[in-house]
Structure 1
Amino acid sequence: MARSTEWGALAALGLLVSLAAPAATPIDYVHSVTRARSARVDELKHPDGYLALTASGWLLPGVNTVGSAADNRFQIPDAPAHLGTLELDATGRVDLRLRDTHGITVDGKPVAVTSVLRTQGSSGKQQPTRVSFGSSYLYVVENGAQRGLRVKDNKARLRTHFPGFDYFSIDPSWRIEADWVPFLQPRTLKMAYVTGTESDTPIAGKAVFHRDGHTYELLPIDEDGRLFFVFSDRTAGKLTYGGARFLYAAAPKNGKVLLDFNLAQNPPCAITPHVVCPLAPPENRLKLSVTAGEKKFRGEHE
């Protein structure tokens, strides 16, 4: 999302609004954006969020060794030197085989030497099996035919000492009321991920907006009733993260969609290397510089 400075007189703010023809701007707009920025950081720092990730990777078919020692396929901070193995079979099943069960629990209960690990499922609504050791825990995720390891520790430095974001100045002219153009026939948007995988996602329409005399379009994904835009622009790779930025908007109303680029945000993979993110599809690569929202993250992972 976006964050930055405050503008002076309300009269000057009103002038900026009229020149850029954005949506009508609330009087307390600067404060509302500042509050939204603060809320985003607070949400990121919640327990078990992606700031707690300390290790990750994709399982290979067969045996994958895990533990803190350097000779493991997956080196996990603060785990026993040789925790055990994760065995992936041809059906996608993952078996955990522990070298020693002392101090380890599965879903909060004492563990047997061998356990089958549940993923989040194809729907994403299943609770993955959690294997805990010390302040950390591991679990397995699925992405199509792939199975991946994720490890979290709520004492991870990125979570406990999150450095925050840099922002462009809050500019009301980037709060834009776009036209919503529904598609008469079903369409899909091809989303590519940094892992090289792709998926076709249904989309219902597009947002069309105007800036500096030019017309631009963005295609959103529906996410729990909200519109989710994965986009990039001419600041990408320079002032902002190169792969994409994210923007959320409320569902269309009366043929309009409110696009507030001051709330454009870094994707998780810009903050931690342990998250897989989508790349901006070609249709959403804007040929203008969106100087609003979060800038490139300058924390521990860049």
Structure 2
Amino acid sequence: MTIDPSYEAEILKWRAERLAALTAEDGWLNLTDRVEIAPGRMTVGRAASSDVVISAGPDHLGTLDLDPSGAATLDSGAGPQIFQPVPDNPPRLRTGDLLLELTEVEGTHALRVRDIASPARSALTALDYFPIDPAWRIVASWHALPATRELEIDLVTGAAASVRLTHEARFSMDGEEVTLLPTHRKAGKPMFVIRDRTAGRETYGAARFLIGDEQGDNLVLDFNKAFSPPCAFTDFAVCPLPPPQNRLSFDIRAGEKKPPNH
């Protein structure tokens, strides 16, 4: 197969950026804890006497104040520090070698902890991919729904979450009409949670994620950029599972394969 050099370079650049994001300070390789918490004042640290016991950092990290609105501060002895909002991410605060985040899923708050000094960040040096195949760069038709609708989706934890749907993507594959629902948005772009027949054999069993590129009435779905969700790399992530419409009856042998040790 002949691949256009510029397209090959685009995919290789995307792969390099993908690995860099995984191994970054706020990547998915250095998570140490995810502890559900309720609004109020609580002590945080490794000590068993802490209200919120975590497995990294000092015995007594500080006092966390969480407002019902989700706003929070941590006082480690030098006055309250504010958890700052971050685009496409939960509010976060860095203290020492820890990066703390406050997540919320369907009204349940949790403190998520990343150890920036963790050797796990440098342990992953490469990801495995299917060969680049331009045929899997699909231009789908992009349809706005007559009205926004709510959809309940399952999470890997066994809980469920409600998402809002505004569009659907349609394309044909070997004579089969396919309709995919974008259940999330990432960096302002529609994101699809999908599963195909490679799941569990060659790709991560629960799902893969794919971000579309809107082009007027069309949407580019480049399955060479399909990637494993955070829960493929850590038990401390809460990932959505694909809705029934996004569980595909054919193999998508493109994009990211199973992470190491799966």
Deviation at 1:150, TM superposition (A): 1.4
**Does the CA contact (< 8 Å) of 2:100 and 2:111 recur in 1?**
yes
Map 1:133-152 to 2 at 5 A: 133=96, 135-152=97-114
1:159 equivalent in structure 2? 121
Tell me, what secondary structure is at the counterpart of 1:50? Answer: coil
Correspondence for 1:74 among 27, 39, 53: 53
Return 5+ residue gaps in structure 2 as ranges.
none
Deviation at 1:46, TM superposition (A): 3.0
Deviation at 1:250, TM superposition (A): 0.9
Map 1:247-286 to 2 at 5 A: 247-253=210-216, 255-286=217-248
Correspondence for 1:234 among 197, 209, 216: 197
Report Cα offsets for 1:252-283 as digits up to 9, x if no partner.
42x32221111100111111222211111112
Map 1:1-302 to 2 at 5 A: 7=1, 10=2, 26-59=4-37, 66-69=44-47, 74-77=53-56, 79-83=57-61, 101=77, 110-111=78-79, 118=83, 127-128=91-92, 130=93, 132-133=95-96, 135-220=97-182, 221-253=184-216, 255-298=217-260, 302=262
- Greater RCO structure (CA 8 Å; 6+ sep): 1
| In structure 2, distance between residues paired with 1:157 and 1:203 | 40
| In structure 2, distance between residues paired with 1:116 and 1:192 | 35
Report Cα offsets for 1:149-191 as digits up to 9, x if no partner.
1112222122233232111111222112222233223333333
TM-score normalized by structure 2? 0.81
Tell me, what secondary structure is at the counterpart of 2:124? Answer: coil
Tell me, what secondary structure is at the counterpart of 2:214? Answer: coil
Report Cα offsets for 1:213-259 as digits up to 9, x if no partner.
22211111444442211111112122211221110111142x32221
**Does the CA contact (< 8 Å) of 1:203 and 1:222 recur in 2?**
no
Change (3 A) 1:223 1:91: closer
Change (3 A) 1:213 1:160: same
| In structure 1, distance between residues paired with 2:146 and 2:122 | 48
- Note the aligned Cα RMSD (angstroms): 3.3
Larger radius of gyration: 1
**Structure with greater proportional strand content:** 2
| In structure 2, distance between residues paired with 1:149 and 1:199 | 19
Tell me, what secondary structure is at the counterpart of 2:58? Answer: coil
What percentage of residue pairs aligned between the two structures are identical? 37
Report Cα offsets for 1:70-122 as digits up to 9, x if no partner.
67663322x22354665879887878687xx4xxxxxxxx23xxx5975859x
Tell me, what secondary structure is at the counterpart of 1:246? Answer: strand
| In structure 2, distance between residues paired with 1:289 and 1:204 | 27
**Does the CA contact (< 8 Å) of 2:90 and 2:103 recur in 1?**
no
Change (3 A) 1:245 1:144: same
| In structure 2, distance between residues paired with 1:65 and 1:287 | 49
**Does the CA contact (< 8 Å) of 1:269 and 1:276 recur in 2?**
yes
Deviation at 1:51, TM superposition (A): 3.1
Deviation at 1:68, TM superposition (A): 3.1
| In structure 1, distance between residues paired with 2:260 and 2:144 | 38
Tell me, what secondary structure is at the counterpart of 1:159? Answer: helix
Return 5+ residue gaps in structure 1 as ranges.
1-6, 14-25, 102-109
Report Cα offsets for 1:43-74 as digits up to 9, x if no partner.
33333333332222212688876433567663
Query: Matched residue pairs, number?
Result: 260
Tell me, what secondary structure is at the counterpart of 1:185? Answer: strand
Report Cα offsets for 1:15-50 as digits up to 9, x if no partner.
xxxxxxxxxxx5532232112111221233333333
Change (3 A) 1:66 1:186: closer
